[in-house]
């Protein structure tokens, strides 16, 4: 069954379930007047009496969430879109009075959902530059004379076209990216200064990830600087099922600065070094060879893949626009660095336990420790936990006060005869990779009977937001038990059963499943 058919069936089911209820009024479920300017979710401000306009706005927010790699936000939008589509049908009187509109909305929602399932999330690559008049190029060159660049910025047709893109149809995302990067820019510049590198390189993460610390590309590059795992490990970043330091904006910045310095040392050209940062040094060296040794980027760029040949013009465009914001009608962005300190943690520690014992903000603690992908430190070795400046001693005292057997509230497993890492992972809704990393195990066959394992939880969710809005693909019925559920990547029958207070056997019985195999996009009946 295609994803679009699944979505359509769920929407029709939602119509049937909601017909007996009076149409909701006011904001969408869980929404409050808490927009982006107040640090809230973009969809929180979408309060309109026109359901079609509501769906359009929600689809735009969903598209933006996919671009930024904010999957929880995308799923919030997905659930809200179902509600808004129901409103559309109520306004029309009958569902079949606006079929083309519903079809278009479902088509776009299907495309986005499939993109998420494929892992194709994160910042989109720079678009292909379009021809622009020479007069426009001259106008941009004139504006640029008021700014100082410490990179060899070129302003030509390609760069001008991308300036118009970033300050035109991409404008709102561009401003949002600059606001997202504001806490990190001072630190990035400081690291660049220490390495004697151009400070304008601080804007490279805007092209890479729109300053999203958890961005993930289809090629599995991760974090604000979009490191591949292999390159990240070369520069000392830890990447495993428990800790991914590519997500740490400070550690990843240090690695990126070293990498950029090495690439410049190899090519002695910032344009070629930047192209190599995007595609790898080998591809740039091959392009130089194809260009018969010509090292001029603008000559050899035709030998590079599309994303790479537009990568350098995109950075030049970003630097030109950000260094002269008034000329392009961009608002001033206040850079507000966050001061963090580090506290060493020995062994496994659950961030939620620490937050509860120390009366700390659990979500804030997780936010400044994005490398802890499971909100849990490893059972082996030491981890440098990020904490707000001035709270180091308080946090260290709280950690010291927690008995060893209480540092991880759940997911301690004693190995029994017949246990395997995959069986344990299925039981707890975790992954083999995360279990091995959490316990410092290299050989999955080395488990010992009686051994106690730390089993990391599944991917962390934001409890407050998850509770405020309906889960995607879930319809609530009078009993409180979801009627049906759309399987997401990473779900197991066990994790779904535990989430909704049932058993794997019961889900298998209701759905006629012969085994526990499920796939993303499958629809499971939980009640009848």
* Residue 437 sits in the same domain as residue 344: yes
HEC sequence for 333-399:
CCCCCCCEEEEEEECCCEHHHHHHHHCCCHHHHHHCCCCECCCECCCCCEEEEEEECCCHHHHHHHH
* Residue 478 sits in the same domain as residue 520: yes
* Residue 490 sits in the same domain as residue 423: no
User: Residue 518 sits in a domain of what CATH number?
Assistant: 3.10.350.10
- What does the mean pLDDT of the chain come to? 78
* Residue 54 sits in the same domain as residue 151: no
Does 135 have pLDDT greater than 50? yes
Q: Active-site positions?
A: 208
Q: Band of the pLDDT at 501, cuts 50, 70, 90? A: confident
Q: How far is residue 522's CA from residue 528's CA, in Å, rounded to a whole number? A: 17
Pick the last residue of a domain from 301, 328, 355: 328
Q: How far is CA 367 from CA 315, 340, 386, 409, 462, in A?
A: 28, 12, 10, 20, 11
* Residue 246 sits in the same domain as residue 387: no
Whether 511 is in a domain gets the answer yes
pLDDT at 458: 59
Instruction: Look at 482 and 271; give whichever has higher pLDDT.
Output: 271
Q: How far is CA 138 from CA 45, 133, 143, 425, 464, in A?
A: 40, 9, 9, 61, 51
Whether 348 is in a domain gets the answer yes
Question: Which residues span the domain enclosing 182?
Answer: 134-328
- For 228-242, what is each residue's pLDDT tens digit? 999 999 999 998 867
Which SS3 state, helix, strand or coil, does residue 243 take?
strand
Q: How far is CA 234 from CA 247, 259, 283, 411, 510, in A?
A: 16, 9, 19, 32, 49
Rg for the chain, CA atoms, rounded: 25
Q: How far is residue 150's CA from residue 270's CA, in Å, rounded to a whole number? A: 11
Whether 191 is in a domain gets the answer yes
Q: Band of the pLDDT at 89, cuts 50, 70, 90? A: low
Whether 128 is in a domain gets the answer no
Residue percentage of the chain with pLDDT more than 70: 73
* Residue 320 sits in the same domain as residue 344: no
Comparing C-alpha atoms, which of 159, 112, 114, 121 is closest to residue 137? 159
- For 20-61, what is each residue's pLDDT tens digit? 333 333 333 333 333 333 344 433 333 444 666 777 777 777
Pick the last residue of a domain from 89, 117, 145: 117
The dihedral sign for the CA sequence 357, 360, 361, 367: negative
* Residue 322 sits in the same domain as residue 449: no
Whether 88 is in a domain gets the answer yes
Q: How far is CA 52 from CA 7, 12, 45, in A?
A: 18, 17, 16
* Residue 306 sits in the same domain as residue 374: no
pLDDT at 46: 38
Does 102 have pLDDT greater than 70? no
Q: Band of the pLDDT at 68, cuts 50, 70, 90? A: low
* Residue 260 sits in the same domain as residue 236: yes
- For 254-269, what is each residue's pLDDT tens digit? 999 999 999 999 999 9
Domain count, the chain: 4
Q: Band of the pLDDT at 69, cuts 50, 70, 90? A: low
Whether 334 is in a domain gets the answer no
Angle (CA) 189 193 199, round 5°: 50
* Residue 352 sits in the same domain as residue 494: no
Instruction: Look at 196 and 446; give whichever has higher pLDDT.
Output: 196
Does 109 have pLDDT greater than 80? no
Instruction: Report the residue count for the chain.
Output: 528
Beta bridge partners of 341: 387
Q: How far is residue 343's CA from residue 395's CA, in Å, rounded to a whole number? A: 8
Pick the last residue of a domain from 264, 295, 328: 328
* Residue 174 sits in the same domain as residue 251: yes
Whether 23 is in a domain gets the answer yes
- For 291-332, what is each residue's pLDDT tens digit? 999 999 999 999 999 889 999 999 999 999 999 999 999 998
Whether 228 is in a domain gets the answer yes
- For 240-250, what is each residue's pLDDT tens digit? 867 899 999 99
């Amino acid at each position: 069954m295609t994803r679009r058919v699944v979505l359509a069936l769920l929407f029709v089911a939602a119509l049937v379930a909601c017909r007996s209820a009076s149409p909701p009024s006011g904001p969408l479920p869980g929404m409050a007047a808490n927009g982006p300017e107040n640090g809230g979710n973009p969809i929180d401000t979408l309060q309109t009496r026109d359901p079609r306009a509501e769906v359009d706005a929600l689809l735009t927010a969903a598209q933006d969430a996919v671009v930024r790699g904010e999957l929880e936000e995308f799923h919030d939008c997905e659930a809200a879109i179902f509600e808004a589509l129901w409103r559309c049908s109520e306004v029309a009187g009958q569902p079949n009075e606006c079929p083309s509109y519903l079809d278009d909305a479902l088509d776009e929602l299907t495309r986005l959902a499939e993109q998420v399932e494929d892992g194709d999330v994160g910042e989109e690559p720079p678009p292909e530059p379009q021809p622009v008049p020479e007069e426009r190029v001259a106008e941009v060159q004139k504006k640029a004379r008021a700014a100082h660049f410490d990179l060899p910025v070129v302003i030509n047709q390609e760069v001008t076209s991308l300036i118009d893109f970033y300050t035109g149809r991409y404008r709102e995302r561009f401003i949002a990216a600059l606001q997202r990067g504001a806490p990190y820019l001072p630190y990035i510049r400081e690291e660049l200064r220490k390495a004697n590198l151009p400070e304008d390189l601080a804007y490279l993460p805007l092209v890479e990830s729109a300053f999203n610390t958890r961005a993930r590309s289809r090629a599995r590059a991760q974090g604000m600087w979009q490191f591949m795992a292999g390159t990240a490990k070369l520069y000392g970043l830890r990447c495993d099922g428990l800790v991914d330091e590519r997500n740490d904006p400070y550690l990843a910045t240090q690695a990126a600065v070293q990498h950029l310095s090495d690439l410049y040392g190899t090519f002695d050209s910032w344009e070629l070094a930047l192209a190599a940062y995007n595609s790898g040094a080998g591809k740039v060296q091959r392009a130089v060879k194809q260009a018969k040794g010509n090292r001029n980027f603008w000559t050899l760029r035709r030998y590079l893949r599309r994303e790479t040949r537009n990568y350098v013009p995109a950075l030049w465009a970003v630097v030109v626009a950000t260094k002269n914001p008034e000329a392009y009608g961009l608002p001033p962005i206040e850079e507000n660095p966050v001061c963090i300190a580090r506290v060493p943690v020995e062994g496994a520690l659950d961030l939620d336990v620490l937050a509860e014992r120390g009366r700390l903000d659990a979500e804030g603690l997780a936010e400044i420790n994005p490398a802890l992908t499971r909100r849990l430190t490893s059972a082996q070795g030491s981890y440098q936990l990020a904490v707000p400046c001035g709270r180091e001693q308080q946090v260290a005292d709280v950690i010291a006060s927690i008995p060893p057997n209480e540092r991880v509230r759940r997911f301690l497993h004693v190995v029994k005869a017949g246990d395997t890492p995959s069986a344990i992972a299925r039981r707890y809704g975790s992954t083999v990779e995360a279990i091995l990393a959490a316990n410092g195990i290299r050989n999955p066959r080395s488990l010992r009977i009686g051994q106690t394992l730390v089993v990391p939880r599944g991917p962390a969710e934001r409890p407050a937001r998850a509770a405020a809005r309906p889960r995607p693909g879930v319809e609530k019925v009078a009993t409180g038990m979801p009627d049906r559920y759309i399987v997401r990547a990473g779900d197991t029958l066990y994790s779904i059963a535990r989430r909704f207070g049932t058993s794997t056997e019961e889900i298998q019985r209701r759905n006629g499943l012969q085994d526990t195999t499920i796939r993303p996009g499958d629809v499971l009946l939980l009640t009848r």
